Amino acid sequence: MTSSLPVLTLVIPCYNEEAILTDTCAKLSSTLASLMVEQLISPASTMLFVDDGSKDHTWQLIKIEHLANRLVTGIKLAANAGHQRALLAGMMHAKHYSDCVITLDADLQDDISVIRTFVLRYLEGFEIVYGVRNDRTSDTSFKRNTAALFYRFMDTLGIRLISNHADYRLLNKRALDELSRYGESKLFLRGIIPQIGFKSDIVPYERKRRLAGETKYPLKKMLSFAFEGITSFSVAPIRLIAAIGFTLFLVSMLAACYAAFQKLFGDPDAGWTSLIISIWLLGGLQLMAIGIIGEYIGTIFAEVKKRPLYSIDSKLEQIHPIGTSKFTKT
């Protein structure tokens, strides 16, 4: 083994992925083996599957693959922590023995052929490499339009994101160490990692269709994830509330002048409809404002408790790249 070759770990979060796990292992094993033959990565490189509290047989399949394939390692979280926390758990576990990691989803919609390009960029000196979709033709029209709107909105708020980038990226050890210093309980890695600011590059790729199984990000969860990203990085919504309140104050002053004029010179019974509409409008705006402020208060509540982001139940570790491996229960 050539010691100068970097140890690469592929971090793959899994939640109920039994339908595609075997195929995923086979394809990623072939990719890693090819890179080893080219002497681009060390033979100690591995895949790390992070079971995020799956309810099916995902963890059992990971253990079977681990026994049959020396490239497969894994950790099992004690409970479902969420996609972002599962990613962080895998990266923080892998950083102790890896020179770099690449995160990707188990469904392999992210084109694994560009993993080689990621590694080449790393060898050129880039510390963070982002995989960026070069088109969204596989998405529905609604998803394409809402995604474009989201990125434009985040840019307007001054939140630095990589457009059309999900969680397909490479980070070197220094970037991982820096990431470990971020302690948010509401993780939005797409916003956090660009803040690190190390030397980075972009690799375009074509996103594919899911091989099997169902997406773990339905519309409801996508909207919640987007809103968490906004509230985690900007106070603009609260400032927007203040601006709306000030505008409504000015409008109410004009309405008061109009009401006084009507009282003195017009029909005092006129304007009942506009009064009711105003009450409903103000009531709705107040509830919306309370909800947005409550979201920020809830975020503060979650942060001050300082609870651990995840708990690891079991580990499948590689002892030697060509030797046996072990199972540990924590």
More confident residue, 222 or 288: 288
Least confident of 12-16, 148-152, 173-177, 268-272: 268-272
Residue 227 vs residue 132, higher pLDDT: 132
Lowest mean pLDDT of 57-71, 122-136, 148-162, name the range.
148-162
Q: pLDDT > 70: what percent of the chain?
A: 75
Mean pLDDT for all residues in the chain: 82
The residue ranking higher by pLDDT, 206 or 51, is 51
Tokens of 73: 């390692």
pLDDT at 2: 42
pLDDT tier, 220 (very low <50, low <70, confident <90, very high otherwise): low
Dist. CA 96–CA 317, nearest whole Å: 12
Question: DSSP characters for 266-308?
Answer: S-TTTTHHHHHHHHHHHHHHHHHHHHHHHHHHHHHHHHHHT--
Q: Judge whether residue 216 has pLDDT over 60.
A: no
- Whether 321 has a pLDDT exceeding 90, the answer reads no
Amino acid at 19: A
More confident call, 166 vs 135: 166
Is the pLDDT at 162 greater than 60? The verdict is: yes
The b/e string for 146-168 (b: 16+ C-beta within 10 A; e otherwise) is bbeebbeebeebebebbebbbbb
- pLDDT, position 257: 74
pLDDT exceeds cutoff 60 at 31: yes
Provide, rounded to the nearest whole percent, the portion of the chain with pLDDT above 90.
Answer: 47
Report pLDDT digits (tens) over 252-308: 667 667 666 766 776 655 565 566 667 767 776 777 778 778 777 877 777 777 778
Condensed to tens digits (0 to 9), the pLDDT of residues 57-94 reads: 999 999 999 999 999 999 999 999 999 999 999 999 99
What DSSP string describes 24-50?
Answer: HHHHHHHHHHHHHHTTSS-TT-EEEEE
pLDDT interval class at 7 (50, 70, 90): very high
* Secondary structure letter of residue 255 according to DSSP: H
pLDDT at 155: 72
pLDDT tens-digit readout, 228-250 = 666 666 666 777 777 777 777 67
List the single range of 11-25, 168-182, 284-298, 305-319 with lowest mean pLDDT.
284-298
Of the listed ranges 57-71, 111-125, 313-327, the one predicted with least confidence: 313-327
Specify the pLDDT at position 259: 66
Query: Which pLDDT band holds residue 101 (cuts at 50, 70, 90)?
Result: very high
pLDDT of residue 297: 80
8-233+308-329 adopts what CATH topology? Spore Coat Polysaccharide Biosynthesis Protein SpsA; Chain A (3.90.550)
The domain spans of the chain are 8-233+308-329, 236-305
DSSP alpha helix (H) spans, the chain: 21-37, 58-68, 83-94, 115-123, 141-156, 173-179, 189-196, 219-233, 236-265, 272-305
Q: Is 90 exceeded by the pLDDT of residue 139?
A: no
